[in-house]
Amino acid sequence: MFNKLTDFSYRRNWKEAVGFYIAYLLLMILVGSLLGGIIGSLFLPAAADFSGGFDFGVRVGTVVAVLISLLLSFAILAKKHLLNNFGLILLAIVAGILAFFGGGLLGLIPIAYLTTRENNQKPKAATRPVLE
């Protein structure tokens, strides 16, 4: 279920895609909370109330979710040689839009689907030496 999480050219079945979704959702949460804490401690005043800090953290988390969703989806399309498919490029952009509205919970759904797509790379034809 959690095999080959960093191999973006690997074609996953639905069970492996769910594992990919869970693993990258946890990674997105960790990165978002870490960046939100670091940036918040640098730029928010010490006297900021809880709601101001929470709103700032939500904004940082949204930016992180959108960026990671777009990077992941286009990395998968590039590794699978699917950047010539207009529909899948639109799906990658939709992943970023969904991440804007629903964070990683929604943004990773199209990405998990993209991992189930087959590679578009054709095997290289064997070349025979030319005999004269």
pLDDT tens digit string along 23-64? Answer: 999 999 999 989 988 888 787 776 566 677 778 888 889 999
Nearest to 40 by CA among 61, 26, 24, 68: 61
Tokens 């689907």 correspond to 113
Q: What is the pTM of this model?
A: 0.82
Crossing angle between the packed helical segments 86-114 and 50-79, to the nearest 10 degrees: 110
Compute the distance between CA of residue 114 and CA of residue 97 in angstroms, rounded to an integer.
Answer: 16
Q: Which residue has the higher pLDDT, 128 or 22?
A: 22
State residue 4's pLDDT score.
Answer: 85
Q: How confident is the model at residue 132 (pLDDT cuts 50, 70, 90)?
A: low
The structure tokens listed for 94 are: 């939709």
Say if CB 91 and CB 52 are below 8 A apart. no
pLDDT tens digit string along 77-87? Answer: 999 999 999 99
State residue 18's pLDDT score.
Answer: 93
Q: What is the mean pLDDT of residues 111-131?
A: 76
DSSP 132: -
Say if CB 104 and CB 65 are below 8 A apart. yes
